[in-house]
Structure 1
Amino acid sequence: MTRLLNILLLTFLFSSCSGQTTDKQNNSIMAKRFFTEEDFNKQYGKEMVSAVTVYERMTKNGFKDNALATFDFDFVSDKKEKLDSLSKFLNDNYHYKLKAVKKQDGQWMLEGEAIELPYTEDNLMFWAIDLYCKGYEFDCQLNGYGALTDPKNITYLDLKKDSAESFHKKGIDAINKRDFGAAIIYFTIALEIDPKKAKTWQARGYCKDEIYIWKAARRDYEKALEIEPNNVDALLILATNKDNAGEHKEALIDYDKVLKLEPENDLAYFNRGNTKLSLGDKKGACADWTKAKSLGSPYAQDRLDADCK
């Protein structure tokens, strides 16, 4: 978990799915894409609304919260190889059942079936957005999905069957496979059983950040800090979240809090340097990166070379 959190903290300047590239590189990449960053951003909100609509249809058919359900889904792209790569990833990590990629209506299509999970309206949205984001990573577009479970034969999650810690561990396992939709569902179940686990609030927030639902992620980090006010990891990742939202002054306050608690936290110095640069304080940024380097940060020298000559 720490490794994954560090990755997020070190990449807070990446404000879009395409990562950090120069404008020239970015334009070149986007020109070759089937599912462009512009289209991803335009349709992101519609995808969230669509998930709500799907869940409303399910409830009209008799589904209630935490009903166990499976979904079929399909992706489209312009090249078979892209869908083949996505298919392998989903099979290896999500353990979904995937059909062979086929050509249909001038496009290539991948169809599959997800594993059974318990759904609420929010959890279905997070699950769908994770698939939407995964498709983008492989330059494939999520085309649609629907519940396969028979409304007349619904079963429900038994919250008494497993412990909060058991579901938390399932969530961590899903994170390590980059299955953020399932991870959010497992963490949500764990929190229904025991809402006082700061580590679970923090982990769920991390997953929401990874699929670009930053406001919901922040609420989870803040909840973790309500439970454990001096939780350094939660403070660090909350500061990262604020940086992503352009709230650099607020992020700076959180990094300062971290350094009061852990004066030799190289990651806090490194990230605070990035924040200071965003605020136009180049001298302060270089001082923080120099300190981060002295504390063993493997990334500080690159920033010093790039911005402090």
Structure 2
Amino acid sequence: MKVISVIDGPLINVFGWLTAPDCLPVISVPGVGKSPAAPCTFNASSDVILQDGIERGVVDVPFVIRKKSGVARSRSASKATIFASTLGREFIKYCHASGEDIGIACVSSSSTLPIAWEFESAGVRDGWNETDTMLLPSSIPSAISTQIAAAHNLHATALTFLDGMMGACSALEYSALCFHYQRAQEILLLCAEEVSPPYQIAAEHINYVHAGLLFNGASGIVLSAPTQKAIGWQFKIIHRYSPGEQTEFPPEWRTDRDYYEMVLKSELTAFTSWLLPLFIHQAVSEAKSHKVIVKCGHENLGGFILGLEWKE
């Protein structure tokens, strides 16, 4: 696939994030006031610098937070689902469309393993008759999006993506196409991850380059159709590039624009989904121009080149 032209692409309504164990949503509205400090920052070498105080190990989520998330059977839901639903609930306050016209695109590579781990461990340890079968619905990869859609009565679309930041890029592409074909008026892009013992063990044994990014929380973007929001950063997918491909920008994007690049170098992409919304947030927050190019992808897999333009 070469160029994906999205005419009148969606506008970024708000950014948001939360971190466990507090799970307090933070909202950043582009163009309104000073942007709040995000959980991490990025440098020109695609390095990620986490804020001090970010919990990187396994965390407990109190039942009161689980219940407030709105997710059915919240005790047996994954923590990533609770994080994403809590952030999504806050996002909805900034939406103007009805639930019939709001969709969800969730990205998580860690929401199912803790559920499967708990179920299998209980079966082996205590016997299969003692397992909690209510865990099984939450062990399906699509559960995180469908459970959140059901919790908040959203019906335009509900799709789950894996593969870390690459999955987040695909979710952004899918969202853009939903607007292009008028499938939704607003979409909540939610990226959520949770740390569990299997991930900690694996990260230690394979010397995972992103082991320092094991993260409990969620980040996301509310995307709105131009009919719902007239002022803000409007984006289009300029190009979907292949590894090693030389990219030539369209004439209107060659000058008078800022440029940001985030390219993963690890073979594994787990726990990197939440980076994309925060990277785009940093790009538009620091931008000196009304146009910003954001390159995001993987050195061995390719990725996307996004164009962001301020509209008034």
Interval containing the TM-score (normalised by the shorter chain): under 0.3
Q: Which has the larger share of strand?
A: 2
Q: Which has the larger share of helix?
A: 1
Q: Give the alignment's TM-score, normalised by structure 2.
A: 0.27
Q: Which has the higher contact order (CA 8 A, sep 6+)?
A: 2
